[in-house]
Structure 1
């Protein structure tokens, strides 16, 4: 694909694809699928409910959960509303959550009810008194729990928002869309603000470098709460109109099973993830022929590892360098590079 200059907002990019391919599959998770039209409908209903609660353009909407469909739908809803998403690592401690939510002045949190042994509903109820700016909690889960006028269930808000009209905000490409927290080289979390324009342009340029089209399907097992998952996996799928298969969190056997079952064409990861895949005996019995391209980033990549991934997993692996502060891709290799440059460098700057 070519980098376009006429689409600069996250929701504008999503809605353009919804208009082009309403009945194509956009999202897959376990045995469930969402077409572009279905995802747009649910996200719009959620945005309407958020607006009914008083959430406005510029308000912070935090998300703490693994790679679940509700994460993606919340991102789209926030984009339509002009809100700013604050993706949070579900492994954060109560102290970390309090720090991030206080510093971003988050008005609403969409959270798993429970995950990895943590009871988030109880955790956030205990934090309400410490976070005067936090107005609402929206929970994702299957249990029929008791709620009050500040706590709602995700599915209930989607149902309540159906048929409602949204007062559309005036969104400028330079408006902030996400605040992503990174420790970088220090031990203290720092919030990085990214605009609609920076995220969408970088996603378009990254997708172009990978040769992505609407016929691709990305297996997303990098976390959506960081820039690799949000910017490289989710947004490249949105700007190209391609499919996205969610894996709750990275697991070698589950990843191989999903590759065999879902036939993705694109797979991203950090070097450790690819090393774990290569070293698992199950890889030799798995059909990986659907995979064609993906990025490896986040840590140094040896030429030997790059060669092995291209030989055994996917032919068009590209090495990239990026930062949370740069949305994230700064440079990446290309199939046009020579063998040495493609395996021993991080390529050329995007642009």
Structure 2
């Protein structure tokens, strides 16, 4: 996948990374390339086994790549051991030392400083993550969210140029995950340090990252802002992985395609048989005694309704912000209120 050339200020450039664990094995990571600017948060998202954590470990220096390069501030770090790369990593289980206090954990990575300087450094970073006054506690006396903050403070104290996060919120209760994400994002953006994190959670990637790289089978299928990747997926996999979508086969003729639900405007011109992506929230549903669709399912979710509509054997999901509800068996008309995304198409002949 082609990427814009790194600028003079590019923090990290990953170029053509490849990794397999034996010569006869399949590639776990294949031709992965992306860049990171200072202060940017970049997410690698994909299903389990797609290569995102291996990519992270190669950048950190815990795995050796078979092909490609990783450069930090314009200098390759591939030959450097992990402790010399100026890259901090927060592991999924936080990897805190249970026998050390919070303060001792945070100060563990500091070096070449006096005892007084270390104490001041620890106090400053605990205050940065909102844990002032908890330095004498032990990890098992903290909540999961607090342990995560300790791991971040320890990483900050080592003064890295880049921070890597491996599934950073997977160990948190669902009730805490949303608020913790927001708070941690504010902390990270306040430092100006570049961040890469891996996740399989679509909502997490969309809400936390400045840009996203969607991975599949070791490679990156698409890179862009959360809005770009969600609204304009390039492939069927990206469209289905990042949220729910309606995949519609249609006949395209320029800027419009004929579909079972009627004419639909296209986001990009195409000709011939195409596969379209229409998000459920981009379809309007209207009661119509002579409409082509029939409501065959509905789910009330508090702030909206999701309807399942059948049109000649084709099923569509529609999300509607409305107090009025449609009944099972009711006839309806569906209208796309945004252009469809063309995922695949084959020109005539």
Do the two structures share a fold, i.e. TM-score over 0.5?
Answer: no
Bigger Rg over Cα: 2
| Superposition TM-score, scaled by structure 1 size | 0.28
| Superposition TM-score, scaled by structure 2 size | 0.28
| Higher normalized strand content (fraction of residues) | 2
| Higher normalized helix content (fraction of residues) | 1
